[in-house]
A and B are shown apart, each in its own frame.
Chain A
Amino acid sequence: MIAKTRYISDGKKALKELPIMHYLDAEYLYYPVTSARCPEGETCVRGGQFVKVGEVVGTRKGAFFEQPMHATCSGEVVGYEKHIDQSGKVVDCLIVKNDKKYELHESISERTDEEIDALTKEAFIEIVKEAGLVGLGGSAFPTYIKLDTKDPINVVIANGVECEPNLIADYGLMMNNPREVIKGLIYAMKASGAPKGVIAIKKKYIEIEERLKFVLQEFTEYDIKVVKVGNHYPQGWELDMIKRALGINIPQGELLSKYGVLNFNVSTLQSIYNAVKKRLPVLERLFTISGDGVHNKSFRARIGTNVKDLIELAGGYKEEEKPKVLILGGPMMGTNIQRDDIVMTHTSTSLIVLNENLDKEEPCIHCASCVYSCPVEIQPVQIMNAYKVRDKEALKTLEVNKCIECGLCSFVCPSKIHLTEYMRSGKRFAGK
């Protein structure tokens, strides 16, 4: 196929029909002390101490920000164990034994609408910072830094595209809690001073559009629009999505706020709503187990749940004798992990288990499918050839750093060459 590939069969239809199992009563809950963005962290509770829902149990420290960790259940602190977090690394986790009473911490109380109306921009940012909110689309970038911009913001975009196959967390959220998403968007607009709000969804999600528009009738005093963007991959990439939804062409590497745009994932907006209105951190998320190597199931689970329990509840692996590929996130850009001993964090939405299917690499026949399909319009095949001869100059000329590692080049290659891996190596080599 010598052609531009944009559409990937996403397998979401079957997943959307799965019943959602509520599993909020895990015996023990685990809280990673460090994360990919925060290499340091410390806890402020002792073994045996009783913690409540929403209580701060520690702080993760990144290069330029700090992020509090919250307990998502009430119970006793038991100790520490090593588990795998969203980034696939083994990290120390604080364990809390769940007493299943879910006593709220004293600080947790709902704000009234009047109180919220009186909040200033600084107050909003402070709330978001206190709640430890991060980009829930997968980047885990701290939300308050995005909000705390000096540039004037014209429009806040809610990104509900979720273009990767097999992911339905955002879809489920918009379907079940559209009001919270919209309120979160309104708070984000207030916090950034933006007069306009836009919710970007896929063209084919007619049911979501209807639902959002129905709820929006309650909020006619705000200028919020639902914009339908393309169904293709990677439409959820913020620059591509903004280009389609707003018609603003933002070059790579520029800050969105310079162009008066702020972009949040719909899940992030819901978490902003919870933080502002209920003073709650992120407590639970929709988690989907999919793929051909496991029994598929959707869960509503508490942050800190061990995914191993969820796999068992779903029915375990299929064809245990076959080697499996475990993926956290989507099948195009997700993280590969070697153990199923995973702890759910804020950004976890999906575990995919595939039976290993090794395709032999054939020689490149210069069909240029990768060049045609590349969303950032670089030339993967030429970058591969330049990397093979370690030509740093050519790699820079070919703009390897523009690569967003969306995985399309590897996906389309008829010779099954793992081009995305060459892109990563090329980036590393050019940056040396």
Chain B
Amino acid sequence: MQAVKQTSPYIRKPISTKRMMIDVLIALIPVVAFSIYRFGWDAIIRILVSLVVMIGLEALAFVMMQKPSNSDNKWEKFKSRYQNYTINNITAPAVSAIIFAMLVPSKLPIYAVVAGAAFGILIAKMLFGGLGSNIFNVAAAGRIFIALALTNMFSGTYVGVDLVAGGTALTTLRSGLLFPQALNSYSISDLFFGNIPGAMGEISALAILIGLAYLLIRRSADYRVVVSSASTFIILMLLVGFKLYPDQAFEYMAYQLFAGGLLFGVAFMITDPVTSPVTRPGRWLYGLFVGALIVLIRLFGAYPEGVAFALLFANMFVPLIDYPKWATNKIKPAFIASYLVLLIVIGLVVFFGVGGAV
């Protein structure tokens, strides 16, 4: 009998990082299936390109980051670099790749897809140290990179744009038809079932909600960020609705909720644990940040859509939220009070800010 040395505890829970990643992949199935149903080969090609680029570049970057053994045999030396390469080095970039592909429109040139995916995996993830070390959401960083660097490539890439509206559901609120008329082009039920133009994965609220439900049931996503960001968004948009369209406040809120990338971001991007704070109050606060920033960008920003921007911006605050001096896992009364005060302040800013009333 050979006894080995270990320290307590000696047993582990039968869960793994791999399972959490695969859960996200499973949760993405309805969204991916819907995008393929809607856009056919366009969707399949972009998803595959994104997958190949992200997984391939992660493998390449991973190899370069490892120290090889001192073997003379070149093949042995090469193999030793892959010693720590695990299934997580495939599933994690696969998750990022599919989420990234779901964020782009179906007619976006392949070149732009490659550029965004490569930026996301190389700059936003591997340069920071790979899995678990990135401070920015990989897919959001890639999406923002191409949105800013290759802006022109996006024109005319959205399929199924309503001729009267002249843009996607959110752009039409800014430049085309204004709100109550926009409902004629894109009804709430169209928005919910995904019968609208938009990025491939963001259009069908139904498919996203199925995936989100799966994630929450499997506890592979934290409900706190989801509830916090979604409720902040809904409360603020209701406020705006009551201010601008008192008769149709709920329709306005629903329109904002289902149009654009909000639900997709809430379900699959905010829930990314790597870029979230690690405490209960921290996660509530993080959700509030993201929700409020999305509203502010949508209402006052230069871009019609703000989920990815809001996410990257909130990511920067994560180390601040997690700063040991004040980070605590206890939900204290002071925290609840400050959370509510923050919500009210942002609510007031939004309420008096829209429509230039003050």
Which residues of A line the B interface, CB within 8 A? 1-3, 5, 8, 165, 317, 320, 323-327, 331-340, 352, 354, 356, 359-360, 362-368, 371-372, 374, 377-379, 381-382, 386, 394, 397-398, 405, 407-408, 410-416, 418, 420-421, 424
Contact = CB atoms under 8 A, between A and B. Distances in A.
B276 interface: yes
Interface in B108-132: 130-132
23 contacts: A1-B220, A165-B11, A320-B1, A324-B1, A325-B4, A326-B3, A331-B11, A336-B5, A340-B1, A340-B3, A356-B6, A362-B131, A364-B132, A365-B17, A366-B273, A377-B329, A377-B330, A379-B329, A382-B324, A382-B327, A414-B15, A414-B19, A420-B7
A362 B279 CA distance: 21
Interface in B149-182: none
B8 A334 contact: yes
B10 interface: yes
A90 to B, nearest CB: 14
A371 B90 CA distance: 27
Contacts of A323: 2-4
Nearest to A2: B222
Q: DSSP class of B's interface residues: helix, strand, loop or mixed? A: loop
Contacts, number: 154
A362 B17 contact: yes
Contact of A420 (B3, B9, B278, B280): B9
Contact of A412 (B13, B19, B277, B283): B13
B132 A366 contact: yes
A399 B1 CA distance: 41
Contact of B17 (A326, A334, A415): A415
Q: DSSP class of A's interface residues: helix, strand, loop or mixed? A: loop
B130 A336 contact: no
A365 B132 contact: yes
A86 to B, nearest CB: 14
Nearest to A327: B10
A340 B86 CA distance: 36
Interface residues of B, number: 44
A408 B8 CA distance: 10
Contacts of A326: 3
Nearest to A374: B329
Given A379-B279, A379-B329, A365 B4 contact: no
A378 to B, nearest CB: 8
**Which of B7, B220, B274 lies at the interface centre, i.e. has the most chain A CB atoms within 10 A of its CB?**
B7
**Which of A324, A367, A397 lies at the interface centre, i.e. has the most chain B CB atoms within 10 A of its CB?**
A367
B195 interface: no
Nearest to B223: A2
Given A323-B2, A363-B132, A382-B327, A368 B279 contact: yes
A267 to B, nearest CB: 21
A334 B7 CA distance: 9
B20 interface: yes
A411 to B, nearest CB: 5
Contacts of A2: 219-222, 273
Contacts of A362: 16-17, 86, 88, 131-132
**Which of B131, B133, B327, B329 lies at the interface centre, i.e. has the most chain A CB atoms within 10 A of its CB?**
B329
A363 B278 contact: no
Contact of B15 (A1, A378, A381): A1
B74 interface: no
Interface in B193-222: 219-222
Contact of A5 (B13, B221, B322): B13
